[in-house]
């Protein structure tokens, strides 16, 4: 074949070869990677952020509830950042939220000073004006020595009794009863009021440290608030008779005197309204009644300041 004829045939075949090349099936074509695009329904959800409420801001000053008066109690909230709290130089414990309790003795001074030591500033001071109480004189036809046969026996027995009472009041107790609204352990006729000075068969005594409620012997009485029993005298004391002490926490405690029967023992945790025993006339008493006394540290308090009017 001559060169002229070969070049002619080649030129005629080129269009056919181009057509065949353009008809290669998709399966035979080279695979080119394509970028993957996530469809909206398959896209990973955005991480959720839990809503955390902001921490409550603590006050930057003292918050006090109650009336500042002799025999009264106040519940407070310490300023934010308080590291130490003191009332007239005595350290006051704080609960986890900065709550605290303070109280004023029957003979409290007219002004009390509350001082908070804080982490990020100077000490915060609050002077509290304490209103005076009005007390009365009561004459009681009962011997000063109580159930002791004579003064010598009273002098012999009394120190051990006082030691038991002191130990009971110093016992460390954790209870939230001090935050509660107190209730009367028993209701009836008020036969003795807090703060009055008593004269026993002509011999002046100390002021009356509680409130007396006259009811028949055997009348049940209950816990005025939650607490822990720290003293339950099985043998009657000379003055208090069968004595029961319940600690409500923060140094606040109730004492129930002249009981006929005690239904709880030392270490028992009691709830508000729980039966504690029955009323009697043991110890120094002229008749059956419930003597309810309240004490915060060394301060004697008026039960009516915490429980309100009896029967109310």
Task: Name the least confident of 55-64, 120-129, 198-207, 210-219.
Answer: 55-64
Q: What is the CATH number that goes with domain 137-307?
A: 2.70.70.10
Q: Which residues in 233-263 are b (16+ Cβ under 10 Å) and which e?
A: beebbbbbbbbbbbbbbbbbbbbbbbbbebb
Residue 258 · residue 240 · CB < 8 Å: yes
Q: Hey, what are 312's tokens?
A: 């109310």
CA separation, residue 166 to residues 162, 163, 169, 245, 271 (Å):
6, 5, 5, 11, 23
Least confident segment among 16-25, 35-44, 194-203, 229-238? 16-25
> Is the pLDDT score of 40 beyond 50?
no
* Average pLDDT over every residue of 157-174: 94
The mean pLDDT of 291-295, rounded to a whole number, is: 97
Does residue 119 come out as left (phi exceeding 0), alpha (psi in the -120 to 50 range) or beta?
alpha
State residue 93's pLDDT score: 95
Give dist(CA 255, CA 243) in Å, integer.
Answer: 7
Domains of the chain: which residue ranges?
63-129, 137-307
Kind and range of the H or E run holding 103: strand 99-103
Q: How confident is residue 105, by pLDDT bands cut at 50, 70 and 90?
A: very high
pLDDT of residue 51: 52
pTM for this model (two decimals): 0.77
Q: Is the pLDDT of residue 192 over 50?
A: yes
């Amino acid at each position: 074949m001559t060169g002229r004829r070969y070049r002619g045939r080649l030129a005629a075949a080129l269009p056919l070869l181009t057509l065949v090349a353009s008809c290669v099936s998709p399966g035979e074509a080279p695979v080119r990677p394509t970028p993957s695009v996530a469809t909206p329904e398959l896209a990973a959800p955005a991480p959720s952020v839990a809503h955390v409420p902001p921490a409550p801001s603590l006050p930057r000053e003292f918050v006090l509830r109650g009336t500042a008066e002799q025999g009264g109690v106040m519940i407070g909230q310490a300023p934010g950042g308080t590291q130490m709290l003191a009332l007239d130089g005595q350290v006051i414990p704080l609960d986890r939220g900065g709550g605290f309790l303070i109280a004023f003795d029957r003979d409290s001074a007219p002004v009390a000073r509350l001082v908070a030591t804080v982490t990020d500033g100077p000490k915060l001071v609050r002077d509290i004006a304490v209103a005076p109480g009005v007390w009365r004189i009561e004459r009681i036809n009962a011997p000063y020595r109580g159930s002791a046969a004579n003064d010598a026996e009273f002098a012999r027995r009394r120190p051990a009794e006082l030691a038991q009472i002191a130990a009971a009041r110093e016992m460390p107790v954790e209870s939230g009863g001090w935050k509660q609204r107190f209730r009367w352990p028993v209701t009836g006729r008020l036969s003795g009021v807090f703060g009055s000075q008593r004269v026993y068969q002509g011999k002046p005594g100390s002021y009356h440290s509680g409130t007396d409620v006259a009811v028949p012997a055997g009348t049940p009485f209950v816990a005025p608030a939650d607490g822990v029993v720290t003293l339950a005298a099985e043998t009657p004391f000379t003055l208090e008779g069968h004595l029961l002490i319940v600690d409500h926490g923060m140094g606040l405690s109730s004492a129930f005197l002249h009981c006929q029967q005690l239904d709880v023992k030392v270490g028992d945790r009691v709830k508000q309204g729980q039966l504690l025993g029955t009323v009697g006339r043991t110890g120094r008493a002229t008749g059956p009644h419930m003597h309810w006394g309240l004490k915060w540290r060394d301060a004697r308090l008026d039960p009516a300041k915490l429980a309100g009017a009896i029967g109310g």
